Structure 1
Amino acid sequence: MKERPGGHERPAVITAVKQDRKERRRYHIYIDGADEAALSVHEDIMVRYRLLKGQTVDPAVLDEIRGEDDKYRCYMAAVVYLGVKPRTRKEVERYLLRKGMEAEAVALTLDRLERERLVDDRDYAGLFAGQRLRSAGKGRRLIVQELRQRGVKGETAAEAADALDPAEELEVALALAVKKWRTLRGEQSERRRKLAQFLLRRGFPGDIVREALRRTAEDGDDDLPWLDN
């Protein structure tokens, strides 16, 4: 790019605009007769800034265009990623950073996605909790752990778990308990202990486990006081 007297850069002249051979909605912008493209932009950015052959562009505007294209690419990558299934804010952030997006563009994209309700951790947590209970047979404690692993804040994860219907959670635990009980061998107390541990590992709280045992195993002495802890 040529300089004006005094060291200031002169406006660049767009000498060629070429469509990308693979990504048909991207265009390479050549300036001042250079053999290599000065920048590559999505067609929406090209139209917005009227990047046409023969147009002059100020160097500062070129930097602005590069930044806008970074944000556009980042946003579109996130939208495609979310099109597969809902994601948490942290999951989208991790994905975009793995793809090499700039941290500033990622932060702006995440804020925009939240404004547009394309990313909503509270809604995600509520849907996730219900699905994991019904389809995977997971109790609220394990559901909270899984939500935290996906980047959901502890308070939001706990609220989603607390919103689960206790009657439905007991129904799921009871179905698992009945099936598991048939496979257990040994003395009655040993079978009860193993069943309790199985349900606890599935994430069910102590009161749910106790009631599932009461309805599944034959009546007997309460030999599992640690369920109250």
Structure 2
Amino acid sequence: MREGGRLEDWIIVSVRPQKKDRKRYDIYIGEEEPVLTVHEDILIRYRLMKGGVLQDELLSEIKREDERFEAYRKAVAYLGAKPRTRKQLHQYLERKELANEHIEYALDRLEREGLVDDVQYAQLFAESRMRSSLKGRLMIRQELSMRGVSKSAALEAVSAISEEEEIAAANKLAEKKWRSLKGAEAERRRKLMGFLLRRGFPGHIVKEAIKSVNQGDDEQWEDDI
């Protein structure tokens, strides 16, 4: 508000914690609706207390800082469950209907603090998928791409996986799948080949995995890979 070309001062008459979220406070300059709602960190930073003075310029600044902090706070809480990529966090904060500028601020801050690191995420994800989920590097790269990891970071992550590790994973998966397949030997081999390829293992590793579970004399199936 302006009066005679000067900013009008507002006196804070009450500061009340919200019932639904005790870390957020309503700021009153009258007895009607609160003029402002802020997190306790913002309350302390700006020393918002009864008897304090607010001006419209300061009010706008406080609102912007609170919205930024809220985006950051929600992102940190979401990260508490497990590591996330920048894209995953962005999508989550968008669902919370936060402004894009505040989302970008929060994500930039998290990257500076080392709490969001897509390169490190890709490395850990690739290792986990190979060992626990028994997936090949081709599928892992695809999954990383879907999570917003850059092509270079995804390639670096899967390149760090040794061929020995991938062969061991493919062999383990092939042995498990082979026992459940029905039909003649040739049909079982074709089914196993398709299954392993769909799991993202390269053709030459699929051949090795099938050999590890089937020692038949008919090798013509290798030409199909």
The percent of aligned pairs where both chains have the same amino acid is 50
More deviation, 87-96/8-17: 8-17
1:49 corresponds to which residue? 46
- 1:19 and 1:26 in contact (8 A); partners too: yes
Report whether the alignment pairs 1:169 with 2:170.
Answer: no
1:108 to 100, 105, 117: 105
**CA RMSD of superposed structures (Å):** 1.5
Report whether the alignment pairs 1:118 with 2:121.
Answer: no
**1:34 positional shift:** 4.5
1:29 to 19, 24, 27: 27
Counterpart CA distance in 2 for 1:186 and 1:52 is 78
- 1:141 and 1:205 in contact (8 A); partners too: yes
- Spell out, residue by residue over 1:136-195, the C-alpha distance to the aligned partner (whole angstroms, 9 max, x if none): 111111111111111112221122111112111111111111222233333333222221
Unaligned segments of structure 1, at least 5 residues: none
2:138 corresponds to which residue? 141
Counterpart CA distance in 2 for 1:47 and 1:153 is 39
1:200 to 194, 197, 202: 197
Counterpart CA distance in 2 for 1:34 and 1:56 is 16
Report whether the alignment pairs 1:224 with 2:218.
Answer: no
1:20 to 14, 18, 21: 18
**1:25 positional shift:** 1.6
Report whether the alignment pairs 1:93 with 2:90.
Answer: yes
Counterpart CA distance in 1 for 2:212 and 2:205 is 11
More deviation, 52-61/68-77: 52-61
Name the CA shift for 1:142/1:81 in 2 (closer, same or farther; >3 Å).
Answer: same
Name the CA shift for 1:55/1:184 in 2 (closer, same or farther; >3 Å).
Answer: closer
- Spell out, residue by residue over 1:24-43, the C-alpha distance to the aligned partner (whole angstroms, 9 max, x if none): 12111112x25110010111
Counterpart CA distance in 2 for 1:67 and 1:34 is 24
**1:224 positional shift:** 2.8
Counterpart CA distance in 2 for 1:213 and 1:112 is 48
**1:217 positional shift:** 1.4
What residue identity is the alignment partner of 1:173?
A
- Spell out, residue by residue over 1:6-33, the C-alpha distance to the aligned partner (whole angstroms, 9 max, x if none): 4x441221121111112112111112x2
Matched pairs, number: 224
For residue 84 of structure 1, give the secondary structure of its aligned residue in structure 2: coil
**TM, length-normalised to structure 2:** 0.94
1:10 corresponds to which residue? 8
Counterpart CA distance in 2 for 1:57 and 1:184 is 74
Structure 2 counterparts to residues 59-74 of structure 1, below 5 A: 59-74=56-71
More deviation, 189-198/142-151: 189-198
1:159 corresponds to which residue? 156
Counterpart CA distance in 2 for 1:221 and 1:17 is 80
